[in-house]
Amino acid sequence: MAVTEGQGATDAIFFREGLVETPARGDAPAIPLTGDASLDKHIRVALLKEEREIARRFEGGKMWIYPAFAFTCYAIWLSFFPLAIMGWLNLPLAFVLSTVFAVGGYVTSHEAMHSNIGRPGSKTRWLNEWTGKVSTIIIVFPFSMARLMHLEHHYHCNHPEKDPDYPDRANGPWHAIYKTWLNRQPGVDGSIHIYKRILAEMGTKEAADSLKDTIRLQLIFMAVLFGMAWSGYAIEAALIWWLPRHIGLSYIRFYLSWAPHHPREERGRYTNTRLFKSRLGHIGSIGMETHFIHHLYPGIPSHRTKEAYHALRPVLEKRGVHCPEI
Amino acid sequence: MQNAVQALFKIMPFLFGIGFIAPLIAQTMSYWEWEPPLGLSPIGFGLLIGGPWGLYATWRGRWL
């Protein structure tokens, strides 16, 4: 199903351009080729070829850093629990680190969602899958669900009903921060309710399994919190898992979903995501200043999108894409 | 099984109120050496806050 995964994404563009005759999936193009309306088709195809050639140079790279980060952080985070119970843990430090791990975990799992660590059938596929699985445990968002929802986001970016991230739409940064909290409330028609509806519409075994994984992980999370709390370690559980999860989810929603897609009105290949300058810098915004490049070429890993943006900028400007200094 | 899980998640905010918020309040009070009012024990006070708060979240669908 992963048309937008890695190489598939760029192939899909050529399908839309009529260079390869392949039917589009669903009732709307996943990544329609739009851009400056004044450019004729010949120029647009030429620009796309040039763009694709440049982008290819940035796909792959030092991908080992993602599993290394994911497994190291997971092991450190896991060690916090026995250390906290034994009283050998600096809790404020553990809280800060757990929050960093929660946010960073989504970045490493994101690479796995796009199979950038190991393609299906490759020798490193298992590493790809396990990197994804361990990375999202802290935020209690199983990899199976995260991957399905993220790929749906790519297929239907900014579609009010089909984009699972659409509930993050907000008028401004403060409203966006508020929405990250609101969408997690139990009775609000926020993220999890949208996910469940989309999964039901998909109706596949993969979708049903991901929902079961989510229920299982949620129950484990609650069991750990309740068990630790009633054993006298409520503060430890709050600072190692509960708070880092909530802060991490809000941070992720703000920077990965709201900031690069604001105002969420356009659905074109060159208009559904924006380039922006973050006050927290490129690392502080978890590389999301150039998330636009990721939507064009999901095979380019997070740590190379900025570099790729600088190389692609002249071609993108010819297309009429607003390219700020980043 | 599915119905049981659905029912469990429906009342999860209440369970969270008594299962996590109540002991968290109690242990935070003890840590800062705050005395609970009305001669209550820390966990009694925690349950008095966490239980109704969880019920409110279950009923209203949001914590605030």
Containing structural domain, residue B29: 2-60
Name the one residue in this structure whose structure tokens are 């450019």: A39
Task: Flag if A187 and B12 touch (Cβ within 8 Å).
Answer: no
For residue A192, what pLDDT is reported?
87
- pLDDT per residue of chain A (326 residues) written in tens, 0 to 9: 333 333 333 333 333 333 323 333 444 444 444 555 677 889 999 999 999 999 999 999 999 999 999 999 999 999 999 999 999 999 999 999 999 999 999 999 999 999 999 999 999 999 999 999 999 999 999 999 999 999 999 999 999 999 999 999 999 999 999 999 999 999 998 888 899 999 999 999 999 999 999 999 999 999 999 999 999 999 999 999 999 999 999 999 999 999 999 999 999 999 999 999 999 999 999 999 999 999 999 999 999 999 999 999 999 999 999 999 99
Question: What DSSP state is assigned to residue A231?
Answer: I
Per the CB < 8 Å rule, is B24 touching A234?
Answer: yes
Provide the 3-class DSSP secondary structure of residue A249: helix
Provide the pLDDT for residue B12: 97
The alpha helices in chain B, defined as continuous H runs, are 2-10, 12-16, 22-31, 42-60
pLDDT in the model for residue A193: 87
- Residue ranges of domains in chain A: 7-60+268-319, 65-261
Q: Are A183 and A275 in contact (CB under 8 A)?
A: no
The confidence score (pLDDT) of residue A10 equals 37
Q: What is the pLDDT of residue A36?
A: 59
Please report the pLDDT score of residue A288 as a whole number.
97
Interface of B with A (CB under 8 A): 5, 9, 12-13, 15-16, 19-20, 22-24, 26-28, 31, 57-58, 60-63
Instruction: Tell me what pLDDT residue B60 has.
Output: 96
Amino acid, res. A225 = L
pLDDT of residue A40: 85
Total beta-carbon pairs less than 8 A apart between chain A and chain B: 54
The length of chain B in residues reads 64
Mean pLDDT over the full length of chain B: 96
Chain A residues lying within 8 Å of B20, measured CB to CB: 222, 225-226, 229, 234, 237, 242
| Number of structural domains chain B divides into | 1
Retrieve residue A247's tokens: 């802060």
- Per-residue pLDDT at A256: 96
Specify the pLDDT at position A208.
96
How far apart are the CA of A188 and the nearest CA of chain B, in angstroms? Answer: 6
Residue indicated by tokens 């039901």: A200
Lowest-pLDDT range, A7-11, B14-18, B27-31?
Answer: A7-11
ipTM: 0.97
What pLDDT score was predicted for residue B20? Answer: 98
Return the number of other C-beta atoms located less than 10 Å from residue B39's C-beta: 8
Mutate to test the interface with B, among A179, A185, A196 (most CBs of B within 10 A): A185
**Per the structure block, which two tokens stand in for A30?**
């996943």
Biggest CA–CA distance in chain B, Å, is 44
A85 inside 8 A of chain B by CB:
no
**Is residue A9 within 8 Å of A295, Cβ to Cβ?**
no
